A and B are shown apart, each in its own frame.
Chain A
Amino acid sequence: MGVLTNIGLISFVALSAYLLILAGEMSFGQQGFFGVGAYTAGVATAMYGVPLPIAALMAMGAGAAAAFLVGLPTLRLRGLYFAMATLAAAEMLRIVFELIHFQREIDGEPVGPDGTQGFRGIRWVFENGVEREGYLAMVWGLLFVVVILFLIVERSKLGATLRMLGEDPELARMLGIHVERFKLGVVATAGALAALGGALYAHHNTYIEPRNFDIMLGVHSLAYALIGGLGTVFGPLLGVLIDIGALEGSRVFHGYRMIVFGGLVAVLLIFRPRGLLDERVVHWLKRRLA
């Protein structure tokens, strides 16, 4: 049960990294917006009694705003420069989480982010009688909605523009697309998506700490998108499923998980540099199914 919920939660970050890759940008910093979402939603429900759905919306807003602010000065950066700028931003956010001491007394107990000590007692789910199964259904339901939205966008003109931006921004510019404005929108959307994952993550774990949002999560989500494949929205989900599901679920590789997974990924990328479900496979599958 926990594994299934985790797969769902991490999928949100993986999808936000995937969205940026489609637009031709590689981000090392999606974990920062995941963290912004987790902290925002946690503060809202645990300290001010806001219901989770509204808190999740607030988290998405905060994530989008943070991503917008990071995106604005870094819009013209590409490749490694953009990756490093997003990494720097995410690390700054993580350190800010370490510096925040913002607590309120609730029922005689201090509640709220306490720097490196973390943020305990995000118990909205528990207090409102949501069963673990119910929460799992909620996470996967939201993920389902996000996937559907992705599928709709990818079939639309918007999706074509997105991929064109990734392939050839100059061509896109010549065709009259406001490349900067469009990219800023993508960055903010990806930030909101990661933040939604963070909000759900905080309420699943009931405890978050700044370390949860370090570079490991960010690079993992990039890796998930790349292993699973860049051809379809199901690619990143497959990546998460392979790592967390197959390897953590089965205890066969206990203690050697990263050795197995790491080697698998490196070898896989030699043969399939755009992942298992890359554009060619997706195209072939579509033709087969049609």
Chain B
Amino acid sequence: MILDLIQNSFDGLAMGASYALLAVGFTLVFGVLRRVNLSYGPAIMFGCYAATWVSFSFHSNIFLLLGIAVLGSVLAGTYVERLCFAPHHKGSAIAAMVASFALWMQFEEVVTLVMPKHLYDFPPMFDAEPLAIGPLSLRAEALVMLACALAICFALHRMLYRSRFGLALRAVTDAPVAAQLAGINVPRVLLLVFLLASAIGGLAGWLIVSTHTQVTPMLGMWSTLKGLLAMMIGGLGSLPGAVIGGLALGVLEAHSQWFLGPQARDLIAYLLLFVLLAWRPRWMTTSHG
């Protein structure tokens, strides 16, 4: 019983690490632009499909595929930013969000037109047996993912508070007009933030699909929903919050799936979000970090 609980928590942390990575990318965009990019997940899916296509047609070196996945989602992200966010920078948040939803539809159709099968195999990160710690087992991929999530969170934090770009970013977030007057090229900063988030998304996508060793068209919606959920649970706009929110969501899901089944898992995750939103504890309303 205790062992089950611990094993579930391990599995949950492994899943949670991927949610955390997705939430970090989401948070970066939301924290600076105050806009929700519904196409975040579909752009990641686009990158992952590009990598899958390369692995079938040419070569399946994992680092090559990682590069393709990142490149693909950055390209898709640029397209999204130019079409949905740059034009609405000063305008309506709803219009930007609906536009990003429209592009989601495009990504989904492009991907299923080029690769129509419902499921594609994706090469695994490495052929390692799960690590055995006594009676418990832990997948090595999970450790890689967790390490990546923490490293990226740390690096972003350093960038925000220790670099010139980070300073510009915070200036744009806090006072866009003043930042503009101080000579910061605001549209350029916003585009760069978007590309950075897309690159992180590409990495997250690659980690996720090479852990699950398969790609399906559901990846887009799944990434957007899980990323949003983890971001909201962790408190909007805080990077460490996004990581904690992702991990918490993963652990909660693992336990509820074990005890109550897959439908209850999703029900409980949404219930948690709903209750948190209605109740709004302090850490959900204070942002930045």
Contacts of B208 in A (CB 8 A): none
Given A85-B277, A88-B274, A98-B263, CB of A262 within 8 Å of CB of B91 = no
* Residues of A close to B228: CB separation below 8 A: 84
CA A269 – CA B93 in complex, angstroms? 11
* A126 at the binding interface (Cβ < 8 Å): no
Task: Please name all residues of chain A whose beta carbon is closer than 8 Å to the beta carbon of B104 when the two chains form the complex.
Answer: 262
Interface string of A69-84 (1 = CB under 8 A from B): 0000110010111001
A-B contact pairs, 11 of them (CB 8 A): A84-B277, A85-B277, A88-B277, A95-B263, A223-B102, A226-B95, A266-B102, A266-B103, A269-B87, A269-B95, A269-B96
Closest to A70 in B: B274
Given the interface pairs A223-B102, A262-B105, A266-B99, the reply to whether A89 lies near B274 with Cβ below 8 Å is yes
In the bound complex, residues from chain B placing their C-beta under 8 Å from that of A88 are: 270-271, 273-274, 277
Residues of A with C-beta under 8 A to B267: 92, 95-96, 99
What is the bound-complex CA distance between A85 and B280, given in angstroms?
Answer: 11
Would you call A259 an interface residue if the criterion is a C-beta within 8 Å of the partner chain's C-beta atoms? Answer: yes
Q: Which residues of B contact A (CB under 8 A)?
A: 36, 38, 83-84, 87-88, 91-99, 101-106, 108-110, 113, 221, 225, 228, 232, 236, 263, 266-267, 270-271, 273-274, 277-278, 280
A226, B106: Cβ atoms closer than 8 Å: no
Give 14 A-B pairs besides A84-B273, A99-B263 with Cβ atoms closer than 8 angstroms: A88-B274, A89-B270, A89-B274, A92-B267, A95-B267, A222-B94, A223-B101, A256-B109, A258-B105, A262-B102, A266-B84, A266-B102, A270-B83, A273-B88
The CA of A255 and the CA of B112, in the complex, are separated in Å by 10
- Residues of chain B within 8 A of A264, CB atoms compared: 102
Q: Are B38 and A219 in contact (CB under 8 A)?
A: yes
Q: Which residues of B contact A256 (CB under 8 A)?
A: 109, 113
For chain A, the bracket of interface size reads 35 or more
Which residues of B sit under 8 angstroms from A81, Cβ to Cβ? 277, 280
What does DSSP make chain B's interface, helix, strand, loop or mixed?
helix
Q: Which residues in window 87-113 of A have CB below 8 A to B?
A: 88-89, 91-92, 95-96, 98-99
Cβ-based interface call for A274 (8 A): yes
A219 touches B278 (CB 8 A): no
Q: Which residue of A lies closest to B110 (CB)?
A: A259
Question: A92 contacts B105, CB within 8 Å?
Answer: no
Residue of B nearest to A76 (CB): B280
Given the complex of chains A and B, what is the CA–CA distance between A219 and B97 in angstroms? 10
- Is A267 positioned at the interface, with any CB of B under 8 Å from its CB? yes
Instruction: Give A9 to B96 CA distance when docked, in angstroms.
Output: 27
How would you classify the secondary structure of chain A's contact residues: helix, strand, loop or mixed? helix
Given contacts A88-B277, A98-B263, A223-B98, contact A269 B88 (CB under 8 A): yes
| Bound-complex Cα distance A271 to B41 (A) | 26
Which 8 A/B pairs are nearest by Cβ-Cβ distance? Answer: A265-B102, A73-B278, A262-B106, A273-B95, A258-B109, A258-B105, A262-B105, A262-B102
- Chain A residue nearest to B91 (CB atoms) is A273
Complex Cα distance A219/B113, Å?
22
Q: Find A269's partner among B98, B108, B236, B274 (CB 8 Å cutoff).
A: B98
A91 to B36, CA, bound (A): 19
Asked if A55 lies at the interface with its beta carbon under 8 angstroms from chain B, I say no
Are B38 and A85 in contact, CB atoms less than 8 angstroms apart?
no
Chain A residue, CB-CB nearest to B86: A270
**Given known A-B contacts A92-B270, A98-B263, A219-B38, A261 and B87 have beta carbons under 8 A apart:** no
Question: In this complex, what residue of A is CB-closest to B38?
Answer: A219
Most B-side CB within 10 Å, residue of A227, A258, A264? A258
Does A263 sit within 8 A of B, measured CB to CB?
A: yes
Report chain A residues within 8 Å CB of B106.
Answer: 258-259, 262-263
Contacts of B109 in A (CB 8 A): 256-259, 262
Cβ of B273 and Cβ of A262 under 8 Å apart?
no
Closest to B285 in A: A81
Task: Report the bound CA distance from A255 to B114 in whole Å.
Answer: 11
- Residue pair B98, A261 in contact (C-beta under 8 Å): no
Most buried by A among B96, B98, B221, B266: B98
Task: Return chain A residues, CB-CB under 8 Å to B266.
Answer: 91, 95
- B221: nearest chain-A partner, CB-CB: A215
Separation of A21 and B87 alpha carbons in the complex (Å): 21
A residues 213-263 in Cβ contact with B at 8 Å: 215, 219, 222-223, 226-227, 255-259, 261-263
Query: A85, B91: Cβ atoms under 8 Å?
Result: no
Given A81-B277, A219-B38, A262-B106, check contact A95 B270 (CB 8 Å).
yes
Residues of A close to B110: CB separation below 8 A: 259
Contact between A21 and B94, CB atoms less than 8 A apart: yes
Alpha-carbon separation in the docked complex, A259 to B102 (Å): 9
A194 at the interface (CB under 8 A from B): no
B236 and A270 within 8 A (CB): no
Verify if A66 is at the interface (C-beta below 8 Å from B).
Answer: no
Bound Cα distance A215, B38 (Å): 12
Q: How far is the CB of A254 from chain B (nearest CB, A)?
A: 11
Given A21-B94, A85-B277, A226-B94, also A265-B271 (CB < 8 A) = no
B261's closest neighbor in chain A, by CB? A99
